[in-house]
Amino acid sequence: MTKKYFYDEAEVLAVPEPEWTKTWHPVGHHRVINTLDKVLDDSGIGVKNKHYTLTKDGNNCFSSWVLDVDRDGRNWMVGFRNSINKSFALGFTGGVNIMVCSNMMFNGEFIEFQKHTNEMDDELIIKMANGAFNQIQEKSKMLEQWHEKLSEFPFRSLRNFKALTFDAMQKGIIAPQKFNNFCDAYKEEMEVDNSRSLKTFHGSVTRILRGNSLFNQSDKNKLLNNFCDEYMMAKAA
């Protein structure tokens, strides 16, 4: 049986919110979704599509929304994670959806986050979402510039590319069983951007993450981005 990673919004909205206690105010996924919808609507920003991942029990949710902000074939994204069983704090993040090949690129960091303490209420959620969205706009611009910078680091030989791929597998960024998928993704990426550079490598890895849960994609993106930063720093030294 194929594991289900993605859920319809109606399924996420239907997850019940636990009762509050004096010290713990769990925020239902539906409240985060409704708040984010309102913040974007007030900002005049539309949403092209939404993706949701739920854990089997429905307690933990990760979502990414592709926004109707098109910049040279890229759309900004806003993401959030929420837990109603004390697994982690409510958090918002941002990223870029590269529409040409439908790659999702998160910045890997949660810009705004808040534990479900007795201070949590609807007003605080709205404040968080507004603050996150303001920061995401700037972070997304920086992420776009960073992504373009990757093309400034070409591979001088096939050996150089193979060594980088091996290092990425050692660090758990590319799973060994996904190696053939990575090779296919690299060929596809070359058809879009024939730069044979760190940008092509990065795009190939994000391609093979598409079928994973959003929790996994976000974590892997953070590892991948740090990995690319280390590579660029080493080459610039």
Res 1 pLDDT > 60: no
- Residue-wise pLDDT for 154-190, tens only, equals 998 889 999 999 999 999 999 999 999 999 999 988 8
Confidence bin at 117 (pLDDT 50/70/90): confident
3-class secondary-structure state, position 80: strand
Tell me the whole-structure pTM to 2 decimals.
0.79
Q: What is the pLDDT of residue 101?
A: 46
What are the two backbone dihedrals, phi and then psi, of residue 98, each rounded to the nearest 5 degrees? -85, 100
Q: What is the pLDDT of residue 219?
A: 83
Q: What is the pLDDT of residue 143?
A: 81
Average pLDDT, the chain: 86
- How many Cα atoms are found within 13 Å in the side-chain-facing hemisphere of 36? 28
Write down the H helix ranges in the chain: 9-13, 29-43, 122-149, 158-170, 179-192, 198-208, 214-236
Res 149 pLDDT > 70: yes
